[in-house]
Amino acid sequence: MSEITLGREGTGAAVRSVSDLYRAVWRWHFYAGLLVLPFMITLAITGALYLFKNELDAVIHADLKQVDVGENVQAVSPSSMVAAAMAAYPGTAIKFTDPATPSSSAEITVNTPVEGKLAVYVDPYSGKVLGSLPDRGTIMWTIRYLHSLKYFGSLTRALIEIAGGWSILLVGTGIYLWWPRKQTGGVLSVRGTPKRRVFWRDTHAVTGIFVGFFIVFLAITGMPWSGVWGAKVNEWANGNNFGYPVGVRVAVPMSDEHLDHVAKTSWSLEQAQVPQSPEHAHGTTPITFDEAVATLERLGLHSGYALNIPTEPTGVYTGSVYPNDLSQQRVVHIDQYSGEPLIDMSFADYGPLGKWLEWGINVHMGQEFGLANQVVLLLACVAIVVLAVSAGVMWWKRRPAGSLGVPPMPADKRVIGGLLAILIVGGLVFPLVGISLVIILTLDWVYTRLKSRQIP
C-alpha cells in the first residue's frame, strides 16, 4: 500500500514540476514578446526593403542614378566631373564615388556653405550634372536609418542590443513551448480557422519554429551595430582601438581621425585611425585628383569605390569599396604628395573574428549569395511579421477582460530561480539586456504584489 502511495506522489510531483517549468517559460516568453515584437515588425519591414536597396534606389532615383550608355562613348575625366559638380553647387568637394556599373552616374559629395553636404550626380560620359540630394538623402538611406533607429538619436541604438538579446530569448523559450507533448496539431500543421484562437496559436508556433533560426542569426549579426556590445567587441577585436587587423599596420604618422568619420566603411574598420601625409612633404606640390584616381585603378579596386579627398595639408586620399563579394573589400590610404599608398588593406588581412563578423553582416544585408540571399531573407522577414501579428491576435483572444493576460506564476518558485540563472548569463554577455532584465523583474514583482492584493 505504501509503495503505491509513494509511486503516486512521485508521479504527481513530476507532473507539477513539468507544469511549473512550462508556466515559467511561458511567462518569460510573454515578457520577451512584449518587449521585442513591436521592434521585430519594424525591423522586418525596413530590413526587407533594404535587402533590395540598389534595385529600389535605381528605380526611385532613376533620373539621378541612371544614365544612357551610347556606343563607343568614353567617360570624361574624374576631375571634370568634380569641377562640373562644384560649378553647379559651389563649395568644397570631399568625396568622389565611381560609377558602380556602366549605366550608373558618378556621385560627388560637395560641402556647401548654405545647404550643407550634398550628393551631386553627374553623367560620367557627358559630364552633365543630373541633380542633387542631401548627402545620404536617398530613400534607402532613410530606410537604413529607420532600421537602425538612428533617426531617433544615438541612445536608441541601445534598443537594438536589447531587442537582439531578447529575440534570442524569445526563440529559445518558443522552442520549448512548441516542443510536441503528445499533441498532433500545431507542430507542423495549423488547425482551425482564423475565427478560432487555436488557428492563431498554431500559426504562431509553426511559423516560429521555421523562422527561429533566422531570428537568432539576424539578431547576432545585427549586434555589431549596437551601442554598447558592438562598440566594445569592435574595440576588443581590432586591438588598441586602431581597428587595423594584425599585420596591416605600418610605420606611418597617424591622425586622431577614425575611418568611420571619413568614409563609409565595414564594421570591423570603424575604429581604424586614418594616416597622415608626412610632414616633410608639405612644401611639395600635391598630386592631382586624376592621379589619385589612376592610383586606385592601378591597384585594382572594384568599381563603385569611393575616394575621399583631403581638405588639410596632412590629409590623405582614402579609397574604399565594399562590394557584394567580400574578397573585394578594400581600403587604401594614399599620400597626397607622393601618390604612394600608405596603407592598403583588404578582407584577406582581417583576423578570423573580423572575417566571421563581416561575413555575417554581408549575409544580414542580403549581399553574400546574390538574389538567393535576398529572397530567403525576404521570406524570413515576411514570416517574422506573421509571427508577430499572430502573437498579438492570440494574446488578444486569450486575455481576460480588463487584464494584461500575463501567464500564471509557477507554484514552485525554485523553477523561476533556475530559469533566471540562465537569463542572468545572457544578461552578462549582453549588458543592456541584463539591465532590462532587472527592470522586468522589478515590474513583474510589483505586478504580482498588486494582483495578489486584489484577490479577496
pLDDT tens-digit series, residues 8-31: 444 444 444 557 788 888 888 888
Task: Please tell me the least confidently modeled range out of 125-134, 181-190, 351-360.
Answer: 181-190
Last residue of a domain, one of 315, 350, 385: 350
pLDDT recorded at residue 257 = 57
Q: Which residue has the higher pLDDT, 391 or 446?
A: 391
In a domain, 362, yes or no: no
pLDDT recorded at residue 249 = 42
Say if residue 42 is in the same domain as residue 155: yes
Number of domains in the chain: 3
What average pLDDT does range 133-142 have in this prediction?
Answer: 94
Evaluate if residue 159 carries a pLDDT over 70.
yes
In a domain, 355, yes or no: no
In a domain, 14, yes or no: yes
Report the share of the chain in percent with pLDDT over 70.
79
Say if residue 47 is in the same domain as residue 157: yes
Which of the four pLDDT bands, split at 50, 70 and 90, describes residue 143?
very high
In a domain, 241, yes or no: no
In a domain, 264, yes or no: yes
Q: Which residue has the higher pLDDT, 366 or 345?
A: 366
Q: Which residue has the higher pLDDT, 72 or 421?
A: 421
pLDDT tens-digit series, residues 402-439: 667 777 776 666 666 666 777 777 777 777 778 888 88
Last residue of a domain, one of 289, 316, 350: 350
pLDDT recorded at residue 190 = 85
In a domain, 93, yes or no: yes
Say if residue 269 is in the same domain as residue 329: yes
Say if residue 220 is in the same domain as residue 296: no
pLDDT recorded at residue 193 = 85
Apex 134 CA angle, 64 and 154, nearest 5: 135
What average pLDDT does range 243-248 have in this prediction?
Answer: 44
Neighbours of 203 (CB within 10 A): 22
pLDDT recorded at residue 274 = 64
Evaluate if residue 247 carries a pLDDT over 80.
no
Say if residue 173 is in the same domain as residue 112: no
Evaluate if residue 240 carries a pLDDT over 50.
no
Last residue of a domain, one of 317, 350, 383: 350
Evaluate if residue 241 carries a pLDDT over 50.
no
What average pLDDT does range 302-308 have in this prediction?
Answer: 94
Evaluate if residue 244 carries a pLDDT over 60.
no
> CATH code at 66?
3.10.450.40
Say if residue 216 is in the same domain as residue 157: yes
Say if residue 217 is in the same domain as residue 70: no
**Average pLDDT over the chain, rounded to an integer:** 82
Residue 160's nearest CA partner among 178, 144, 138 is 144
Cβ atoms 39, 387 nearer than 8 A = no
What average pLDDT does range 336-349 have in this prediction?
Answer: 87
Say if residue 404 is in the same domain as residue 345: no
Evaluate if residue 378 carries a pLDDT over 90.
yes
Say if residue 311 is in the same domain as residue 448: no
Cell of 299: 591597384
Evaluate if residue 291 carries a pLDDT over 60.
yes
Say if residue 182 is in the same domain as residue 255: no
In a domain, 238, yes or no: no
What average pLDDT does range 157-162 have in this prediction?
Answer: 78
pLDDT recorded at residue 416 = 67
The domain in which residue 266 lies consists of 247-350
Say if residue 45 is in the same domain as residue 88: no
pLDDT tens-digit series, residues 173-211: 899 888 887 777 677 888 888 888 889 989 999 999 999
Which of the four pLDDT bands, split at 50, 70 and 90, describes residue 131?
very high
Dmax (CA) of the chain:
104
Q: Is 160 exposed, middle or buried (0-12, 13-18, 19+ CB in 10 A)?
A: buried
Say if residue 83 is in the same domain as residue 168: no
Residue 335's nearest CA partner among 278, 399, 394 is 278
pLDDT recorded at residue 283 = 65
